[in-house]
Amino acid sequence: MVVSKKNVWFIGSGMGLVGLGVLFSTTWSSIFHAKIQQMMILKEGSTSFGIWRDIPIPIYLECFLFNITNVNELLAGNNVTMQVQEMGPYVFREISKKVNISWNDNSTVTFRNQRFWYFQPHLSNGSLSDNVTSINPVLATIAYTLRTEHIMLKVFVDMILRMYHTNIFLKANVSSWLFDGVQDPILDLVGQIPGLPYTIPFDRFGWFYKRNGSIEADGIFVTNTGSDNFRELGNIERWQNSNRTVYRDQCGELKGTTGELWALEKNQPEINIFAADLCTHMSLAYSGEVMIRGLRGMEFAANDSLFDNGHKYSNMACFCDEARDENCLPSGALNVSSCKYGAPAFVTRPHFLGMDPYYPSKIQGLTPNEKHNFKMSIEPIIGMPLAISAQLQANALVRHIPGLSINNQLPDPDMLIPMFWFREDIQVNEEYANFAKAALGVYFGLPYGFYLFIIIGMCLIVSGVYRMRKFALAKLREADVAASQKFLSHGDKKIDIQSL
C-alpha cells in the first residue's frame, strides 16, 4: 500500500508540474508585457519617468553650414551656378530635460523642454570663429513676405533696405550664425514696415538664437502617459494649447511622440515623430532589422513620402495650400514659413537627399548620400529606442520679386539656397543595453523553465504509471500464485478422499 501511495504522489506531482508548465508557458508573454507596461507607463517613480525627464544618454548635435564660395561671380551677373562648400561639423554636447511637469486627470502630462548646448572643440572640424557667407535671411524674409504687395510699397522698402545693405549676401562667423545671432539694423525697423503679417520676436538672427537653456523655444506639450491605454504611450495630445498645428486638414493633426517613449505594435509599418521646429510630424517607414549593442531592433527610415507635398502621395497634399500655388515646391521640401514667422524657410533632408532635381540641379557642391537619411531604431518588445540619427536641412527660397532689386541679385530667378543642416546621433549606452538584455533574457529564457516543468511532470507521470503498472502486475502475479497454491491444495485433499 505504501508503494501505491508513492505512485499516486508521482502522478499527482507530475500532473501538477505539467499544469503549471502549460499555464505559465501560455500566459508568460502576457505577464511579461504587463510588467513591462507597469515599468513604462509614465508616472512618478516608474522606470521610464527618470529616463524621460532627464535623458541620461549622451547627445551630440553636429552642425554643418554651407558657405557660398563664388559670391563675386554671382553679384557680377555672370551666368554661373552657385557653388557651396560644406563646413563642419561643429559639435555641441546637448543636455536635455523636461521641466514644469504637471500631471493631468485624463492620463496626460504637461511639460516643457529645456536644452543646453556646449561646444566640443575636440570633436569639431573647425572653430566657431570660422566665417561663413550665405544669403541674408532677414532680407530674404522681408522680400518673401512682401511678394504679393503693391509695387510701390516694394520699391519703398527696397530703398530702405539699400540704405543698410548693398547686396543680399551676409558674412558672419559660425558662432553668430548658430547661437549668438547676427545683428542686423533692419530687424529694428521691421516693426515699422506696414503690411507685415508677422511679429518677429528677435533682435538678431541665429538658427539657435535664444534657445540655449530656454524653456519657451519648443513650446508646451501635453503627452499621453499610457495609463489608460498603453498603446497611446508618449503620443502628443496637445501642443501650444491646441490639438492642431498650422497646416490644413489631416496634415494639421497632432501625431506621434517626441521620440523617447514607444509602444510598438506587432509588424508596425511606420512610426510618427512630432517635430516642434516643423510644427508637424514626420513619418518613418519600417526598413528592416538592425543589431545595436547585441540587441535586435526595428529600424524606421524616411523614404520618398517625406515632404512629398502630394506629388506622389495624395494624403500629403495638405502640406500645400488648396490652390497648390507656386509656393508648393516639388517633392522633397516642406514649407515651414507659417511656422517660422513668415520666413521663406523650407526643410529638406541634408544635401537635398531624395528631392526632385529641379532645385538641386542649380547648386554645385552638394553630395547627397544615404548616410544623410533620417533613421530611428527601436527594440520592439520593451519599446526602448536603440539609436536615432535625426538630420534635417534648413533652406531659404529666393525668387526674383519686381520692385525689390536687392533680392534679385542671383542669376537664377528661382532658387532654394541650402543654409545649414544638423544631425543628432544618439545610441543606447552599455548600461541601458545590459538592462534590456537582462529583461529580454528573462522574457525568452523563463519559458524554457516552464517547458522543463512540463518535461519533468511528464516523466513523473510516466514513472508513476509505470510503477503502478509494475505494482499491479506484481500483485496480479502474487494473486495467481496464491490461487494456484490454493487450487493445488484443494486437489490434494480430493485425491486423499478418493484413495480412502
pLDDT in tens, 420-449: 999 998 887 776 666 665 555 544 444 444
Q: How many domains does the chain have?
A: 2
Integer CA distances (angstroms), 355 to 135, 249, 350, 401, in order: 21, 24, 10, 25
Same domain for 116 and 170, yes or no, is yes
Same domain for 320 and 464, yes or no, is no
Q: How far apart are CA 16 and CA 168, in angstroms?
A: 83
Range of the domain at 164: 57-428
Same domain for 104 and 73, yes or no, is yes
Same domain for 278 and 395, yes or no, is yes
Same domain for 184 and 308, yes or no, is yes
Q: How far apart are CA 30 and CA 307, in angstroms?
A: 39
In the DSSP assignment, the letter for residue 199 is: -
Q: Where are the strands (E) in 79-130, listed by range?
A: 82-103, 108-119
By CB atoms closer than 10 A (0-12, 13-18, 19+), residue 427 is middle
Measured N-to-C along each axis, helices 151-164 and 137-145 cross at an angle, to the nearest 10 degrees, of 170
Same domain for 157 and 278, yes or no, is yes
pLDDT value, residue 112: 96
pLDDT value, residue 479: 60
pLDDT value, residue 47: 79
Same domain for 32 and 171, yes or no, is no
Cβ–Cβ < 8 Å for 166, 429: no
Per the rule left: phi > 0, alpha: psi between -120 and 50, beta: everything else, 181 is left
**Mind listing the pLDDT tens digit for each residue in 156-213?**
889 989 999 999 999 999 999 999 999 888 887 776 655 555 566 677 889 999 999 9
Same domain for 345 and 415, yes or no, is yes
* Average predicted confidence (pLDDT) for the chain: 82
Q: How far apart are CA 98 and CA 123, in angstroms?
A: 27
> Which of 393, 280, 405, 398 shows the shortest CA–CA distance to 344?
398
In a domain, 48, yes or no: no
| Spans of the chain below 50 pLDDT | 1-3, 10, 14, 17-25, 28, 442-453, 457, 460, 497-500
In a domain, 479, yes or no: yes
In a domain, 273, yes or no: yes
In a domain, 237, yes or no: yes
**Mind listing the pLDDT tens digit for each residue in 61-82?**
999 999 999 999 999 887 889 9
In a domain, 440, yes or no: no
Identity of residue 463: S
Identity of residue 489: S
In a domain, 436, yes or no: no
Same domain for 449 and 421, yes or no, is no
pLDDT value, residue 343: 87
- Domain-ending residue, one of 396, 428, 460: 428
Going by DSSP bridges, is the β-strand pair 363-364/82-103 parallel, antiparallel, or unpaired? parallel
Same domain for 237 and 313, yes or no, is yes
Same domain for 117 and 193, yes or no, is yes
In a domain, 433, yes or no: no
Q: What is the pTM of this model?
A: 0.82
In a domain, 43, yes or no: no
- Domain-ending residue, one of 428, 460, 477: 428
Same domain for 449 and 313, yes or no, is no
- Evaluated on CA atoms 352, 356, 362, 368, the torsion sign reads positive
Q: How far apart are CA 302 and CA 393, in angstroms?
A: 14
| Residue bearing cell 524674409 | 141
